[in-house]
């Protein structure tokens, strides 16, 4: 029997809880904000079952879209984007935080053609700035971001920040759905 997307989301929540992805304590987030909890998606995305579940959910969501490429910003989103590229059979783009000063000096690894329809994925968002930076890199290089997904939205402004740039953030999960506080 085929599992629905909602069923797969419940499985994902259970997997994240089982893998103790949420840590309590005092943390400084990538956004610079301080928090009393941390969503350790780097730990989660090293687990094949979690990656597969994430890839299945997004792939089923986008299967009717005319998508050419799957993109993820380094580092946390690259395993997610890779799993999604394998699941959806779409080529992968990896977005660096900054151009490297050697080799090809590319900001985007993979072949992005002008007009390519791209889905961007991210592991966790707080303000959405790192995701927005990746989206801007795709736009600046001729790609068109059709959809932007995040595994966990911390509900701290990312959705509105992206909306202000005409991008709808599509979280698989809200932190409130599995945070045991």
The answer to whether the annotation marks 7 as part of a ligand binding site is no
The answer to whether the annotation marks 14 as part of a ligand binding site is no
Confidence class of residue 178 from pLDDT cuts 50, 70 and 90? confident
Helices (H) and strands (E) in the chain, counts: 6, 8
Strand (E) positions, 56-154? 69-73, 92-95, 108-109, 117-125, 144-153
Decide yes or no: CATH 3.40.50.2020 for domain 5-177: yes
* Residue bearing the bigger pLDDT, 107 or 63: 63
Q: Tens digit of pLDDT for each residue in 17-66?
A: 999 998 889 999 887 888 999 999 988 999 999 999 999 999 999 999 99
The answer to whether the annotation marks 100 as part of a ligand binding site is yes
Q: Are 147 and 119 in contact (CB under 8 A)?
A: yes
Q: How far apart, in whole angstroms, are the C-alpha atoms of residue 134 and residue 122?
A: 10
Share of the chain above pLDDT 90, in %: 75
Q: What is the pLDDT of residue 93?
A: 97
The answer to whether the annotation marks 156 as part of a ligand binding site is no
The DSSP-derived string for 35-69 is EEEEE-HHHHTTSHHHHHHHHHHHHHHHTTS---E
Angle at 100 between CA 94 and CA 105, to 5 degrees: 80
* Residue bearing the bigger pLDDT, 32 or 181: 32
Share of the chain above pLDDT 70, in %: 93
Task: Please say if the pLDDT value at position 112 is more than 70.
Answer: yes
Quick one: tokens of 32? 């610079």
The answer to whether the annotation marks 157 as part of a ligand binding site is no
* Residue bearing the bigger pLDDT, 180 or 126: 126
Q: How far apart, in whole angstroms, are the C-alpha atoms of residue 91 and residue 120?
A: 12
The answer to whether the annotation marks 128 as part of a ligand binding site is yes
Mean pLDDT calculated for residue range 103-110: 73
Task: Please say if the pLDDT value at position 181 is more than 50.
Answer: no
Q: What is the pLDDT of residue 103?
A: 47
Whose CA is closest to 118, among 153, 152, 144, 137?
144
Q: Tens digit of pLDDT for each residue in 32-44?
A: 888 999 999 988 9
Q: In Å, how far from its chain's centre is CA 66?
A: 19
The answer to whether the annotation marks 123 as part of a ligand binding site is yes
Mean pLDDT calculated for residue range 61-89: 95
The answer to whether the annotation marks 125 as part of a ligand binding site is yes
| Adjacent-strand bridge partners of 109 | 94
| Residue tagged 């987030």 (tokens) | 29
């Amino acid at each position: 029997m085929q599992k629905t997307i909602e069923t797969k989301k419940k499985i994902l929540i259970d997997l994240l809880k089982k893998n103790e992805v949420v840590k309590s304590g005092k943390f400084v987030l990538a956004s610079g904000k301080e928090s009393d909890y941390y969503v350790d998606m780097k730990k989660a995305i090293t687990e094949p079952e979690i990656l597969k579940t994430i890839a299945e959910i997004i792939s089923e969501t986008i299967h009717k879209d005319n998508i050419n490429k799957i993109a993820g910003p380094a580092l946390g989103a690259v395993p997610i984007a890779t799993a999604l590229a394998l699941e959806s059979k779409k080529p992968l783009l990896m977005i660096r935080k900054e151009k490297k000063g050697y080799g090809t000096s590319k900001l985007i690894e993979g072949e992005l053609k002008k007009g390519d329809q791209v889905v961007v994925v991210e592991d966790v968002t707080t303000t959405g700035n790192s995701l927005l930076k990746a989206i801007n890199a795709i736009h600046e290089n001729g790609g068109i971001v059709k959809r932007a997904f995040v595994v966990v939205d911390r509900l701290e402004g990312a959705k509105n920040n992206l909306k202000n740039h005409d991008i709808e953030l599509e979280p698989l999960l809200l932190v409130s759905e599995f945070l045991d506080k």
